[in-house]
Amino acid sequence: PPAAPAPPPAAPLSAALSGPFPGGRVVRLHPVVLASIVDSFERRNEGAARVIGTLLGTVDKHSVEVTNCFSVPHNESEDEVAVDMEFAKNMYELHKKVSPSEIILGWYATGHDITEHSVLIHEYYSREAHNPIHLTVDTSLQNSRMSIKAYVSAPMGVPGKTMGVMFTPLTVKYVYYDTERIGVDLIMKTCFSPNRVIGLSSDLQQVGSASARIQDTLTMVLQYAEDVLSGKVAADNTVGRFLMDLINQVPKISPEDFETMLNSNINDLLMVTYLANLTQSQIALNEKLLSL
């Protein structure tokens, strides 16, 4: 695909931020974005020092939420940088067909600092989004951690003379959907695996582990309440209010009704499971009969 030096004389793809940066200057980042950035870095071309890409998401009154991204091919040398504009435009058009609510928010780059080439690429994205965000992900693990920072740019210098760009840091917060939380929890379990590999557990195992965690938590809460009543631990009004809210959220139902409801739900689940297995066996038998 053709590549051209940045910034290119291309028409804007979208006006992402229609006004000034929202109050609070907060960037809400989803884990799928970080996973995509790390994956593109691991799959980078041989000899490439870093990878760049486009950030997609939504804007509200208080923050900018980054929910998706895609990598953009580019080449860097000591004197110039080239970005594949056509690829970036086509990828964004494809993303709009799937998620029309996601707009261009800015761009990301791997590395722990902002280079001179970053200014040129940022100028290109200024044509795609008003006041774009620049996200840096330190895949080189400086200070033994993956530092993630976000910036917005502001012009600085003497009007009519030499002008420069100043990058101002923003607050980065990590958010997730419920489905993303499941994936993050599963990835975290690989830290305790010797070969860094872990398999998916069944639904029954998930219920069992969740019940065990709830039981351990209730044991801790009960022990804390007994220590407060016996005078071993000083009472904390904040903790008491949290516990009262927790108790008020539990529905009032008699043990007999709860047992009847639980048994009924379990019977329904077992019946659905039995019918699913029966259907699967019938389909397998039908395939064997047709192949004879």
Question: What pLDDT digit, counting tens, does each position of 36-70 carry?
Answer: 999 999 888 877 788 899 999 988 877 888 999 99
pLDDT digits (tens, 9 = 90+) for 260-277: 998 899 899 899 989 999
* Max CA pair span of the chain: 85
For residue 171, what pLDDT is reported?
86
Q: Are 184 and 176 in contact (CB under 8 A)?
A: yes
Looking at the chain, the whole-number percentage of residues with pLDDT higher than 90 is 19
Mean pLDDT on 66-84: 85
21 falls in which pLDDT band (50, 70, 90)? low
Mean pLDDT on 79-100: 87
Which residues, other chains included, contact 57 with Cβ-Cβ below 8 Å and sequence gap of 6+? 64, 65, 66, 67, 68, 102, 103, 105
> Would the pLDDT of 35 be above 80?
yes
The DSSP line for the chain is ---EESSP----S-----SSPPTT-EEEE-HHHHHHHHHHHHTPPTT----EEEEEEEE-SSEEEEEEEEEE-EEE-SS-EEE-HHHHHHHHHHHHHH-TT-EEEEEEEESSS--HHHHHHHHHHTTTSSS-EEEEE-TT-GGGS--EEEEEEEEEE-TTS-EEEEEEEEEEEE---HHHHHHHHHHHHGGGSTTS--PPPPHHHHHHHHHHHHHHHHHHHHHHHHHHHHTSS---HHHHHHHHHHHHHS----HHHHHHHHHHHHHHHHHHHHHHHHHHHHHHHHHHHHH-
Q: What angle do CA 88, 67, 103 make, to 5 degrees?
A: 50
Average confidence score pLDDT of the chain: 82
For residue 56, what pLDDT is reported?
92
Q: How many angstroms from the chain centroid is the CA of residue 78?
A: 33
Q: Are 88 and 54 in contact (CB under 8 A)?
A: yes
282 falls in which pLDDT band (50, 70, 90)? very high
> Would the pLDDT of 2 be above 50?
no
For residue 292, what pLDDT is reported?
73
Rounded Cα distance between 78 and 115, Å, is: 11
Rg (CA), the chain: 27
13 falls in which pLDDT band (50, 70, 90)? very low
Residue ranges per structural domain of the chain: 26-178, 254-291
Token pair for 244: 């009262």
pLDDT digits (tens, 9 = 90+) for 178-230: 878 877 877 777 777 777 777 777 777 778 888 898 899 999 999 999 999 99
Q: Are 6 and 45 in contact (CB under 8 A)?
A: no
Mean pLDDT on 95-114: 88
Rounded Cα distance between 26 and 19, Å, is: 15
CATH fold for the domain made of 26-178: Cytidine Deaminase; domain 2 (3.40.140)
For residue 113, what pLDDT is reported?
79
For residue 108, what pLDDT is reported?
92
pLDDT digits (tens, 9 = 90+) for 113-150: 787 788 888 888 888 888 888 999 988 887 777 888 88
Mean pLDDT on 91-110: 91
For residue 24, what pLDDT is reported?
52
